Structure 1
Amino acid sequence: MFNVIFICWCSWSLEGVFGSEFVSVSVMEGDSVLLSVNITEAQRRDGIMWTYGSIPIAKLKTDNKYIYYNGTDGMFRDRLKLNETGSLIITDIRIKHSGLYYISTTSQEKPFKKFDITVYTHLAAPVISRDSSQNSSSSNCSVSCSVINATHDVSVSWYKGKSLLSSISVSDLNIRLSLPLEVENEDNDTYRCVTNNHITNHTQHLNINHVCHTCSEFSCCCGFTKAVIRLVISALVGVATAAVLVYDIRSGAVLDPI
């Protein structure tokens, strides 16, 4: 039993341009996808062939027997399944399986349906951090929203409330994508960073008090020193108090008559 997931299935007919129906499919890596067709009895008797580009991957013979091919370097091994309509199921799909898929009859090499599959990686949640590389004034704070392994039209956007402040996108690059933003330290407006591709999105809210905690080297140092001094003084006071208490107890014991 196959759990087939349809994700962002966009289909349109381009008969006049390509000479056959053309379907665009977007799917998440690791999911299964169904390349749906409904062959006629004449096509079934003729036999059908599925190819990945020009590479044969699955075949329905005239005697209704199914044949599967592993493809280059075994990339399709144990991933393919034909059903009774001639549709092709690809399980546990990977980035390397992106590309063009064709179905044709055995007697006619020209495909009667084409599929363009784009496989997306799972989008990592954005990370917001202070951007120390930017020179900010005492009242402002430079922050950056980043996402790692940005591929396939990933975009990073900053919003203030519902208003879009800035956005950046990248296509087909395995990089760390970052978008800076300058905010005021006392600004209580809601800032959020949104990362998305064609299938999914993530939102991370900016906590200005946490990210933009201003503490100069001098003030932090002095604050730490004050804390240590207070701790030492408290300890000394405690020791002195205990010493006085012990002295009073001993003095009382000496003065009491037997």
Structure 2
Amino acid sequence: MLVSNRLSLILLIFCGVFGAETDEIKTISVKTGDSVVLHTGVCEINREKQILWLFGAEDPDTLIAEIYKLSISIYDTYEGLKDRLQMDQQTGSLTIRNITTSHSGLYTAQIMNSMTTFKRFSVMVYDGGFSSAVMCSAENGPEVSLSWFKGRERLNQTSSPDLSVTLSLPLEIKDRNNDVFHCVAANPVSNKTTQFSFQEHCPLNTDSSHSCGFTEAVIRLVISALVGVATVAMLFYDVRS
């Protein structure tokens, strides 16, 4: 009986019954036309478990699929996604087929049973030519926002009232150029900036190949804000066909 209980405990841990980390976002990079599978980490769904899949370009707030009482529903709530989605009835994992650049963004699985846990994915879709993405993230707090700038032009911005999540904001760069991009984490009384440029982070080698490759380079800053200390991390991904 003791051995059986231990095996059951191990199985529960591997299946994520005790909850997934809610502040970690997994970044996935794919090309247009590919298929991508977003895994829930659930081993098997029972009739009482409900899983919601949410999507948003900058904030996952649109319901696109769900499973409840073993019944799957796929919703036509975002352009061109419904016919590309497939949900696994046993695990609730989501497959996106023939993906396009318009489907880049944040996907969240909200897994509800006796407790609610989350799995979060940032999906970057590229058209096959040169394209790069920089991911900037910061610990959330009251009235904290995260923005990308090129010069004084704000390129995108995100914020969330859910203080338990980590703010994350991707920036897609179509061409290798000399521009300097700034990521700014700010609240009403303070802000902190980190920057990205190809010259600084990914200079060309003498053989004219990129030095970054498909690995991530991490730059960390510390922000002292009203709510305490927040960490800003910048992850760079270089995607080549």
Q: Same fold (TM over 0.5)?
A: no
Name which one, 1 or 2, has greater alpha-carbon Rg.
Answer: 1
Bigger strand share? 2
Q: TM-score, normalised by structure 2?
A: 0.44
Bigger helix share? 1
Q: TM-score, normalised by structure 1?
A: 0.42
Task: Give the number of the structure with larger relative contact order, counting CA–CA contacts within 8 Å between residues 6 or more apart.
Answer: 2
